[in-house]
Amino acid sequence: MSKKSWKPGNMLYPLPAVLVTCRDKKGKDNVLTIAWTGTICSDPAMLYISVRPERYSYPMIKESGEFVVNLTTENLVKATDYCGVRSGRDEDKFQAVGLTKGEAEKIHAPIIMESPVNIECRVKDIVPLGSHDMFIAEVVNVQVSEEYLDEKGTFDLAKAKLLAYSHGRYYGIGEQLGTFGYSVRKKG
């Protein structure tokens, strides 16, 4: 198999395409699309989002120190794209795409009711990195829509039909192929 070298770039794909919601100190809400996000620690539960400083939501998150990561689904693909290419400076994106606002339980920020999972976060550190600043945050609460829980109370990823993002394209997440440790589990 032959390989071809490309210039250095971000080739870690696919990524989750999420909607981040935030509120400024005056009570104005906004939603933006983020693909630069991920888990960084399990105990305490922590994640990051990377945001360009010129984005409308950047000072909202920096000043409030809070945000919500709302997972997206195939049904939210149009809203996810729209919220990534339009600015909250110009319009209320919740209203423009028909998203229903709810309230976070542990922080002062909106959640998206249509999202199957809302991850409430409190900023612990901001790391300037170049084009983006990384907001390192502790997860302080998670809300999960009951319709996506199976009979054991486990989140059913296949039922939620979450989105992934790769090189300017959105994809649905497919069928389950295995479970953690299945490759070494003894057959009984």
pLDDT in tens, 77-129: 999 999 999 999 999 999 999 999 999 999 999 999 999 999 999 999 999 99
pTM of the model: 0.93
Measured from the Cβ of residue 21, the count of other Cβ atoms closer than 10 Å reads 31
Question: pLDDT value at position 87?
Answer: 95
Q: Rg for the chain (alpha carbons), in Å?
A: 18
Regions of the chain short of the pLDDT cut 50: none
Question: pLDDT value at position 50?
Answer: 98
Question: pLDDT value at position 188?
Answer: 66
Question: pLDDT value at position 107?
Answer: 98
Domains of the chain in start order, with CATH, are: 15-172 (2.30.110.10)
Q: Is the peptide bond before 44 cis (omega within 30 degrees of 0)?
A: yes
Task: Name, in order, each residue with C-beta under 8 angstroms of 9's C-beta and a sequence gap of 6 or more.
Answer: none
